[in-house]
Every structure is written in structure tokens, then in C-alpha cells.
Structure 1
Amino acid sequence: MAQKIILDCDPGHDDAIALMLAHGNPDIDLVAVTTVGGNAVLEKTTKNTLGILTIAGITGVPVAAGCVRPLIREGEDADVHGESGLDGVVLPEPIMELDRRHGVDLIIDTIMEAEPKTITLVPTGPLTNIAMAMRKEPRIIERVKEVVLMGGGVHVGNWSAVAEFNIKIDPEAAHIVFDAPWEVTMIGLDVTHQALATDEVVARIKALNTPLSEFVLGLFGFFQEAYRDAQGFEFPPVHDPVAVARVIDPSIVGTVRAPIRVEIHGDYTLGMTVTELRPAHIPADCNTRAGLTLDADRFWDLTIDAIERLGKAAANG
């Protein structure tokens, strides 16, 4: 049976691939999409989401715009995604309309209307919407099957020496999510920096020869240049779809059970996901996991297969 997920995102080049993997894989049932301000302001991330869904031929999924800014702090944009949040491609006019609900309410309604433990939350941006949903309707905590989020890192940071972007720009929201009594798997930079769009990956996508694969190549082309200039990567890491892949096949990502705490006070460590790896300090009832390793070949097999499926379906009308 396909696993039901809500994808909470802030497209973003890698969020675009996450949307394609979530809808293009037969083992995933994408039941809702919500947007949040993150890689760009909410207006842009929402517009980008609708454009991505349109070019990928994804319909019938409710999409709602969520929180404009972090819980407490001022928002920040991720410069590697360009002015639009999705530079390097031209988006079509959307064929879908936004759900009239706020994104937080769409999350709550979807979870409360489903059978308990059947919905997995997959946030790939700041955790503002998820934290707000928890505060507005705490009963969702016991009903969610699992939270598999892209963010943080055990040993790696990118928005500071020790903190990852999604966590650092709304650390209070991240603290709320990690501190709750539900299952949380952190797909952090330790893992996603292994999901590189290499020349071999690009060649495989190019060989698909569909309008959607050309769109993906446009995404990767801009992203590669931006990551090379900003962070010195030869090939860009494609972070967000790794969280979706973890839901499809948990064995693709190697994880360890470990307490994870989010630093919300430090001058130099704000947003750090402090991960306790000492065996004697990991309680038996620990409900958080940290990703450490990735089977990159299997990850790309899943991702390219989804792009191929969606591309063929879109081409056939």
C-alpha cells in the first residue's frame, strides 16, 4: 500500500525534485502540499510550487500556502536559489488553484481526517508550518506516523559553521518539532551532501528526452553554478528528495537512534542540531533518528525513475 505523505516545502530547486519523486513514485501517495517562506518569500515559494506541479502534470493534490515568516525571527532567503527561488528555468502558468485554507489548517485537517498513524509529514523547508500545526491542534502529534525532515546535520552546517539553513532560520519551530513525543528522522547535510547531481546523473536524465527532463536539467544547471560559487561544490547536492526517498525505502538512508536538541540561544551555535551519539546517553525510548549514510545509486535510481514516469505521463496528456 502506498504511504501517504504531506510534503511541506519551500521551492527551491531541490524541493522541485522532491515533489516529482513524491508524486512519481508508485509507493507514495502525495495527499497534500503546503508551502512556507524559506528559500524565498512565501509568495515566490507558492508560485514556484504551482508551476512545478503544472510542468510535472501533477493534479488532484490540494496545495495551500502556509506561514509567511518564522515564529519569532525575521526571515532569510537562501541565495543559492536565485532571485525567484527557482532561477534557471521558466515556469508555466499554473493550472491548479490554491486551496482556500491556510497551510497549517490543511495539515491539521488532513491528519485528523485520516486513520491514525497513516500520514507521514515530510518537511523540506523551515519547520514553521509544522510547529504551528502542533500548537493549534496538539492531537496531530499522536496521529502522525512519522516526521521525516530535511534539515540539520550531525557534523555539518551550511548557514553557519554548525547549523543548516532550514533549522537556523526558524530554530524555535525546529525545537518544537524535535522535542515532541513523535517519531522524527533527521535527513541532514551528512546524508544529503552524498546526493550529488554528477555528470553521470545529468547524462541519465538527459537521455530521458522529455520536456520534464529538460526542465530538471535547467534546475541542475543553475544549481550547480550557484553551489560552486557559494560553497565550492563541484556537483550540487540535491537535498530534499532524500527525505522522500527515506519514506519510500528506509534502507536507502542509514540512521542511528540519537537524542537531538536544537540550540536556540547560542551566539555561535544558533540552530545547531546537537546530536547525542554516546551510547550510554541514548535512552531506550529515544524517538529521534539521525541520518548518516546514503545509498546514492539507489537514491538516483528512484529519482530518475520518477522523473521518467511523470515525463511520459505528461507527454501523453
Structure 2
Amino acid sequence: MRPRPLIIDCDPGVDDAIAILLALASPAEFDLLGITTVAGNVPLALTAANARRICQLAQRPDVPIYAGCPRPLLRSLTTAEDIHGATGLQGAELPEPTTPLQAQHAVAFLIEQFTTTPHPITLATLGPLTNLAVTLIQCPAIAQGIDQVVMMGGALGGGNVTPAAEFNIYVDPHAAKVVVDAGLPLTMIGLDATHQVMTTPERLTALENLGTPVGKAAAGMLRYYGQLDVERHGLAAPPLHDPCIIAYLLRPDLFSGRPMRLAIETEGSLCIGRTVANAYPTAAVPANATVIQTVDAEGIYALLTERLGKL
């Protein structure tokens, strides 16, 4: 079968980096057309540099990387250095990237790809949805070139940056609203699913035991990443968010969910960024997304470890 055309929109970030590595380790399944970056976990200059560092680590300088929007549509930028470290990739000693950043803006790249592709493209979104929202605003016709959008974001229950909101949606709720309301074939993998995928000591050791530069870097980043979440949310181990998106595209059988009607709260101070999901859509208010609720965490980590061992 033809590899799936894929674009990754992200804000690296440790878990974004692991997700990118998983995609790079799966060339038979993915034709990775490019990586677009947005401000989120760290500012745009760092997310763009970090994507380049990860591709360099994986010895994939052929993957083009495009910098996108440096701030949310309407709000000031919120970042997450407390989770990912000052550089965004705390725990790994990675050299300065030598692969150049593409001159084209990420939004222009997305418009070009989605309006000219002979085969519909899958978009994996791992960060705030600013780039995709601006793309939709500038050129609604991109929808014709999208096979599906699989996003890491949102939560059916409580949030991780406020009691109501998950980080990616909270950073740019207005962009999330544009995307959710656009009528795209959308799958949401939120905190309810990703909090099931925990980086236990045994899983971390398996990555370290790969004995490769990629394995050591991945284990180093994951050893640092998520410790604050463990303390803040009382989790047994740090959760792994963004790689679930790539794992879903590789092994959808490891996930289960149902159609729901999503809406994004963009007003008020207490609940801004909340993902409001109606699990019982009707003909009058139909579903606009598939929402993943359960995952096979052991299967996901086995897949991740096996694939990273190939880099």
C-alpha cells in the first residue's frame, strides 16, 4: 500500500519530539511531507529549532520544517517550560540543528499542500491549533485536500492547565473553535485517553536499553518530562500525550471511542478553553468528531519502543 501522506503540526516539546521520532521511524506507513511548528510549549523560535534537532537526531534532514504562527489568534501566549524545560527538550543533549528552516511560512505551506495534493493528506496536530485555524480562515478550500485531522487536545473531564481546560486548547481556544466548527473529519485524543499511557520505570528502561542515540535521548527527555503532572494530578507515572496521535494512525486497533459533538468555550475566565462534548448527538445537533476514550497503553509503548529501535 502507498504510505499515508502526513503533515505534523506541533510545538516541540518533549512529547512532540517522541511523536515525531515515532513517525520518522515508520517510513513504510507515512510519507512525511513536512513538519509545521507553532508557539505553544515554548516560543516559536524554540519549537522550530527543536523540530530540526529531532530530525537531525533521527538522521532525517530531508524532512522540511516550516515555522508558523508565533502567538494565538486573540490571546497572549501561554507556554509550558515548567513541564518541558527551558529549551523544550530538557533531558537530552542535542546539538544545534544544521538542517535549515524553510523560508515559506507554515500556513502558506499548508495551503499549498492541501489545495494541490493528488491524494488527501492526514494532518496530525500536537499543539495549539493556530496554524490550522489561520489556514482555514485564509483558504477554506483546503478541506478538500484533508483526509483526516487527528488532534491531541481537549478533555472530557478535568483539564491540566486549569480545572476546565487542556493545555493545547487553552493556549488558543479561538483557533480550536475555528477547527472544531469547520466540518473536517476530526478525531480528538484528549487527556482522558492520554492519561492512560504512562511512562512507567519499566517502559523507560526499555527505551534506555535500546542503546542507541535516539533511545538514550528519548529516555532522557521522558525521565524529566511530566514529573510536575505526577505531583499535581496524583498520577502513578508521567502521561505520554502526543505520541498517541501517531500511534493511532499506525494502530487504530489500540484505541476505542465514539462520535460526539464538540464545542469549545471561548468566553469567561473560569472555563475558557474547555472542551464541551455531547456524547449523545442528534440529527439536529450531529457529531462533528470521533472522541477516543480508551487506549491499550501496553500496546502503544510496545509499538513506540519497537519503532524507535529502528532509528
Range into which the TM-score falls when normalised by the shorter chain: over 0.9
Whether 1:82 and 2:85 are equivalent positions in the alignment is yes
Structure 1 residue 98: Cα displacement: 0.8
Aligned to 1:163: 165
Q: C-alpha distance in 2, partners of 1:262/1:224?
A: 25
Stretch deviating more after TM superposition (168-177 or 262-271) = 262-271
From 116, 119, 143, the counterpart of 2:145: 143
Once the two structures are superposed, the pairs formed by residues 38-53 of structure 1 within 5 Å of their partners are 38-53=40-55
Q: C-alpha distance in 2, partners of 1:97/1:42?
A: 15
Once the two structures are superposed, the pairs formed by residues 25-104 of structure 1 within 5 Å of their partners are 25=26, 26-78=28-80, 79-104=82-107
Aligned to 1:17: 18
The one-character-per-residue Cα deviations of 1:47-103 (angstroms, maximum 9, x if unpaired) are 111111111112211100000000000001112112112222221121311111001
Structure 1 residue 46: Cα displacement: 1.1
Judging changes above 3 Å, is the alpha-carbon distance between structure 1 residues 83 and 282 closer, same or farther for their aligned structure 2 residues? farther
Aligned to 2:121: 119
The one-character-per-residue Cα deviations of 1:268-304 (angstroms, maximum 9, x if unpaired) are 111111000136x366953311110001122112211
Aligned to 1:304: 305
Q: Give ranges in structure 2 of 5+ residues lacking alignment.
A: none
Structure 1 residue 29: Cα displacement: 1.9
Structure 1 residue 232: Cα displacement: 3.6
Aligned to 1:175: 177
Whether 1:108 and 2:111 are equivalent positions in the alignment is yes
Q: C-alpha distance in 2, partners of 1:239/1:283?
A: 33
Structure 1 residue 161: Cα displacement: 1.0
Stretch deviating more after TM superposition (217-226 or 257-266) = 217-226
Structure 1 residue 159: Cα displacement: 1.1
Structure 1 residue 227: Cα displacement: 3.0
Structure 1 residue 230: Cα displacement: 4.3
Q: C-alpha distance in 2, partners of 1:287/1:158?
A: 24
Structure 1 residue 229: Cα displacement: 4.2
Whether 1:196 and 2:201 are equivalent positions in the alignment is no
Structure 1 residue 177: Cα displacement: 0.3
Amino acid across the alignment from 2:304: T
Q: C-alpha distance in 2, partners of 1:129/1:151?
A: 15
Asked if structure 2 preserves the Cα contact closer than 8 Å seen for 1:80 and 1:230, the reply is no
Stretch deviating more after TM superposition (232-241 or 143-152) = 232-241
Counterpart secondary structure, 1:6? strand
Asked if structure 1 preserves the Cα contact closer than 8 Å seen for 2:43 and 2:79, the reply is yes
Aligned to 2:237: 235
Counterpart secondary structure, 2:35? strand
Judging changes above 3 Å, is the alpha-carbon distance between structure 1 residues 269 and 224 closer, same or farther for their aligned structure 2 residues? closer
Amino acid across the alignment from 1:9: C
Q: Give ranges in structure 1 of 5+ residues lacking alignment.
A: 311-317
Q: C-alpha distance in 2, partners of 1:162/1:220?
A: 26
Q: C-alpha distance in 1, partners of 2:268/2:292?
A: 24
Aligned to 2:250: 248
Asked if structure 2 preserves the Cα contact closer than 8 Å seen for 1:125 and 1:151, the reply is yes
The one-character-per-residue Cα deviations of 1:209-262 (angstroms, maximum 9, x if unpaired) are 111111111101111434334444341111001011111122222111000000
Number of aligned residues: 308
Q: C-alpha distance in 2, partners of 1:95/1:19?
A: 18
Aligned to 1:207: 209
With structure 2 as the length reference, what TM-score do the two structures score? 0.95
Asked if structure 1 preserves the Cα contact closer than 8 Å seen for 2:91 and 2:217, the reply is no
Amino acid across the alignment from 1:104: V
Asked if structure 2 preserves the Cα contact closer than 8 Å seen for 1:48 and 1:91, the reply is no
The Cα RMSD (Å) is 1.6
Amino acid across the alignment from 2:192: D
Amino acid across the alignment from 2:5: K
